[in-house]
Amino acid sequence: MVIAGCSLINPIYPHEQLLQQAGTVLLLAVMVMDIFRCRFSLLAYVCIALFTVVHIIGARYIYSYVPYQECFSAVNLDLNSLFGTKRNGYDRFVHFAFGFVMLPVLYELVEHKLKRPLVSLFMAWLMIQFGSLIYELFEWSLTIYLSPTDAENYNGQQGDIWDAQKDMALALLGSTLTSLFYAFYIKIKRNK
């Protein structure tokens, strides 16, 4: 909560901050609600916290303007050249992170109810894909209700007509990588 509060001090894009930080409130609410239930493991809390911090950084700079390249330039690393792009890729990183770090959280939620590890893993993986789809539909709906400039600032498409598909593909990749690790772990655990 401290990081979220600090990100609101002298906002760079004050007009966009309320909508951008709505996700922060949602993520923090999940963590606070579970404190009383104690359902999540330490790993799940760390995953939620990591994703929350990644989101707060993106919200502070409205995703399209996160100065990550300046940070990596300090260690002589040019990420844009490495990935062959000129666009700010922070929003892509966040979609990948959503799949990669939120899958353990969803897996724990489902496994708590089903008690069937592989089915729970598949359900968590599907929930990531569904969540990614719903978020992209939400972004699309903003283009109907906001001005073109406000919608572009929130969505961070940066002129890419395939932005939604690429974002969903990165969430798919992140969740698939984590799922493979979990499937391997489940198989080892069963063979003991």
Which contiguous run of DSSP H or E holds residue 22?
Answer: helix 22-37
pLDDT, residue 72, reads: 83
pLDDT, residue 160, reads: 77
pLDDT, residue 132, reads: 96
Give the number of other Cβ atoms within 10 Å of residue 22's Cβ.
Answer: 10
Alpha-carbon distance 32 to 103, whole Å?
Answer: 19
Report if pTM > 0.95: no
pLDDT, residue 125, reads: 98
Alpha-carbon distance 59 to 63, whole Å?
Answer: 6
Question: Which residues of the chain are under the pLDDT cut of 50?
Answer: none
Q: Which amino acid is at 132?
A: S
Is residue 80 exposed (0-12), middle (13-18) or buried (19+ Cβ within 10 Å)?
A: middle
Task: Give tens-digit pLDDT for 55-80.
Answer: 989 888 888 888 988 888 888 888 88
pLDDT, residue 155, reads: 64
3-state secondary structure the chain: CHHHHHHCCCCCCCCCHHHHCHHHHHHHHHHHHHHHHCCCCHHHHHHHHHHHHHHHHHHHCCCCCCCHHHHHHCCCCCHHHHCCCCCCCHHHHHHHHHHHHHHHHHHHHHHHHHCCHHHHHHHHHHHHHHHHHHHHHHHHHHHHHCCHHHHHHHHCCCCCCCHHHHHHHHHHHHHHHHHHHHHHHHHHHHCC
pLDDT, residue 1, reads: 63
